[in-house]
Structure 1
Amino acid sequence: MGFADIFNQVLPGQNTDLKQLKLTNQHLVDLANQNNVIAPENFKRFDIKHGLRNNNGTGVLVGITGISDVHGYQLIDGEKSPDEGRLYYRGIDLYDIVSKNASSGTRLFEETIFLLLFGQLPNPQELEDFNNMIDAYRQLPQGFTENMILKIPSQDIMNKLQRSILVLYSHDEHPDELAVENLILQCIKLIARVPTIVSYGYQAKRHYFDRKSLFIHAPKEGVGTAENILHMIRSDNQYTETEASTLDLALVLHADHGGGNNSAFAVHVVSSSGTDTYSAISTAVGSLKGPKHGGANNRVRDMMLDLNQNVTDIGNADEIRAYLEKVINKEAYDGSGLIYGLGHAVYTKSDPRAVILKEKARQLATEKGKLKLFSLYENVELIGIELLRKKKGPGLTICANVDLYSGLVYQLLDIPEELYTPLFAVARMAGWCAHRIEQVMSDTKIIRPAYVCPHQRQKYTPLSDRK
């Protein structure tokens, strides 16, 4: 069914036949195109920071956050100078968090949540109590699974997650209370429940849309978020230690990314209005759903599937190069000219999350006998960067971003594609909640930037005088 057919549908019991109206859908489309597109030259004319970016590519400073810091370049005399990427959680280098726990066998995600929320690493007793607190709230409110998830399934789990978070408002006795003790409780409950909502949302989608058997597994205590997800999304509850530790690592790497990324900034903006936690966090989910943000990992996956269909031998570098040249020239895949998984708004020489995940992907691929698949992704990285430098100049500094290898890791873990972005949301709940608490506690002024209107003033014309 095309747009015109949808627009002209008549609902049951509706007396007006839309097909007889002189106000056609094409006329409305023409008006929208005529009056809603801002001419590009106006951004230069009024010195607008398009996308809140400065002319040198840096982000416009709009706030302060102590949650995390993203370092991707140095500013020398106002110009960006490429540098190795670093990500700091509450001042602690992500590389240190990961490397110093690599052989401990302990789960890192819950420790990372505590660090982001409360500003310091937990001691053993604090971590044990915190884990027990999260376990106590993993179950959804009574009737929630049946009424919210199973009776209203969605083909898109992010859509289901966003609606579910808003409905949790109705299960809170003090949903609008902004006292810090209430904010902390709300955030801990959301962090605990979102993995369950995502897992059950996936099962509902699988059953009602894919016609598969329905499995609803109760969350387990004492195993952490990563293991609970694998336990709840798999029909047989089975997973290996390697799978659990890998997913735990992926959650840690995605837990936060500064205050300037689109979804975290959305949390700050909405929270500054004084609204409730559920409205603020659901806004972040809507942001992350977008293909320019969290949904980018699905674009990588789709591009790689298209590559597989158009390349005879995925081990042949020349064939990969020919395909990527077509992508850059807008002759292949989605016609955007973008090689998804390459480039980042902040990182230049390296994305630390991609560096860590790449090595984990190499280990997994070796264990599972899929090194040829890993080599394909590595070749896309190396050849893609080479081609982009050839097209845009040798001075271009570009690196693989986290989306390139996160999708590969999920694929090697046999995680369904429709869960890629929802798992990103599970991880980012930690950062969103930390930013929510920080905004409410630190800044009582509503965020209200200015927009300029370039249109000339005109007088109101009475209806009888309009043609």
Structure 2
Amino acid sequence: MNLIAKLPAITATIYRNTYHGGKGLRAVDVNKDWAANFCHMLGFDDPNDHEGGNVSAHTSHLVGSALSDPYLCIGAAINGLAGPLHARANQEIGDNYTEEQLKDFIWKTLKSGKVVPGYGHAVLRKTDPRYTCLREFAQKHMPNDPLLKLVADVYKVVPPILTELGKVKNPWPNADAHNGVLLQHFGLTELDYYTVFIGISRSLGVLAQMVWSRALGLPIERPKSISTDMLMKQYAK
């Protein structure tokens, strides 16, 4: 509970120190809620539970199952978020292109063995409903933003290409295909901070689940071990 309470002030201070020379630091406003205070301390004043099935949330469960300190658990979880297949996907944005250039770029990306950031999901088999909500919000509040056009064009181009590739179970976008554009529009343009930004919001869910894990006395997590002999028997078939 202490960690949840401290995170907005800690991460907002990091933001102001890193990108604004330590200027404009603000105190907690007791009349604002948790999220509003975070935005206020970042310097933005405009009005404005996660399950355990992804890398960062599962990492916090895994480290926490050893009864490690919650501060260590959230640190491990954010390290998981920093990968380009996870939350860092929302940093991969750009503009100035034609649709054919966009298609060529997508094919070159896939043929080089890389993935398209923000597309595909381990659980979902359709467009992420979070993506849909972000899209509707953007169309209402920032319809002329040039990056919004990019997001729309990528949405039109990428799913057919991934379907044609034949290896992707879910060719549709997840939330990371859209949320970076909103952050850019509202002034949070420092891409390296995006992982921190998503990490603090995720902390509410993963730390609440840690309370339940310890209250229920859940056991330590251990990976399944596979021996060389087992592998040889498996592939000998």
TM-score normalised by length of structure 1? 0.45
Q: Give the distance between the partners of 1:349 and 1:435, measured in 2 at CA.
A: 27
Residue 235 of structure 2: aligned partner: none
CA 1:450/1:325 → structure 2, altered by over 3 Å: closer, same or farther?
closer
Residue 259 of structure 1: aligned partner: 52
Residue 226 of structure 1: aligned partner: 35
Match of 1:319 among 96, 101, 111: 101
SS state of the match for residue 319, structure 1?
helix
Residue 403 of structure 1: aligned partner: 176
1:365–1:373 contact (8 Å) kept in structure 2: no
1:351–1:399 contact (8 Å) kept in structure 2: yes
SS state of the match for residue 340, structure 1?
coil
Counterpart code for 2:138: A
CA 1:213/1:356 → structure 2, altered by over 3 Å: closer, same or farther?
same
2:65–2:218 contact (8 Å) kept in structure 1: yes
Whichever structure has more strand as a proportion of its residues is: 1
SS state of the match for residue 126, structure 2?
coil
Match of 2:89 among 296, 302, 311: 296
Residue 213 of structure 2: aligned partner: 439
Q: CA deviation at 1:192?
A: 2.0
1:199–1:229 contact (8 Å) kept in structure 2: yes
2:59–2:77 contact (8 Å) kept in structure 1: yes
| 2:43 corresponds to 1:199 | no
Q: Where do 1:234-313 residues align within 5 Å?
A: 234=43, 239-241=45-47, 244=48, 255-256=49-50, 258-298=51-91, 300=92, 304-305=93-94, 308=95, 311=96
Q: Give the distance between the partners of 2:220 and 2:109, measured in 1 at CA.
A: 43
Counterpart code for 1:381: Y
> Identity of counterpart residues, as a percentage?
26
Q: Where do 1:58-457 residues align within 5 Å?
A: 187=1, 189-207=2-20, 212=21, 214-234=23-43, 239-241=45-47, 244=48, 255-256=49-50, 258-298=51-91, 300=92, 304-305=93-94, 308=95, 311=96, 314=97, 316-330=98-112, 336-366=113-143, 369-370=144-145, 372-392=146-166, 397-415=170-188, 416-454=190-228
Q: CA deviation at 1:191?
A: 1.6
Q: CA deviation at 1:201?
A: 0.6
Whichever structure has more helix as a proportion of its residues is: 2
Deviation per CA, 1:58-91: give whole Å up to 9, x if none: xxxxxxxxxxxxxxxxxxxxxxxxxxxxxxxxxx
2:125–2:169 contact (8 Å) kept in structure 1: no
Runs of 4+ displaced beyond 6 Å: none
Deviation per CA, 1:417-466: give whole Å up to 9, x if none: 232111111111111112211211123422223323428xxxxxxxxxxx
SS state of the match for residue 239, structure 1?
coil
CA 1:411/1:441 → structure 2, altered by over 3 Å: closer, same or farther?
same
Q: Give the distance between the partners of 1:224 and 1:383, measured in 2 at CA.
A: 40
1:280–1:436 contact (8 Å) kept in structure 2: no
Q: Give the distance between the partners of 1:339 and 1:397, measured in 2 at CA.
A: 12
Deviation per CA, 1:254-290: give whole Å up to 9, x if none: x41x122122222222222223322323222222233
Q: CA deviation at 1:376?
A: 1.4
Q: CA deviation at 1:233?
A: 2.0
1:206–1:214 contact (8 Å) kept in structure 2: no
Counterpart code for 2:28: P
**Matched residue count:** 228
Deviation per CA, 1:311-341: give whole Å up to 9, x if none: 5xx4x323322332332333xxxxx432111
Q: Give the distance between the partners of 1:196 and 1:425, measured in 2 at CA.
A: 14
1:230–1:239 contact (8 Å) kept in structure 2: yes
Which structure has more RCO (C-alpha within 8 Å, separation ≥ 6)? Answer: 2
CA 1:283/1:325 → structure 2, altered by over 3 Å: closer, same or farther?
closer
Unpaired runs of 5+ residues, structure 2, are: 230-237
Deviation per CA, 1:91-146: give whole Å up to 9, x if none: xxxxxxxxxxxxxxxxxxxxxxxxxxxxxxxxxxxxxxxxxxxxxxxxxxxxxxxx
TM-score normalised by length of structure 2? 0.85
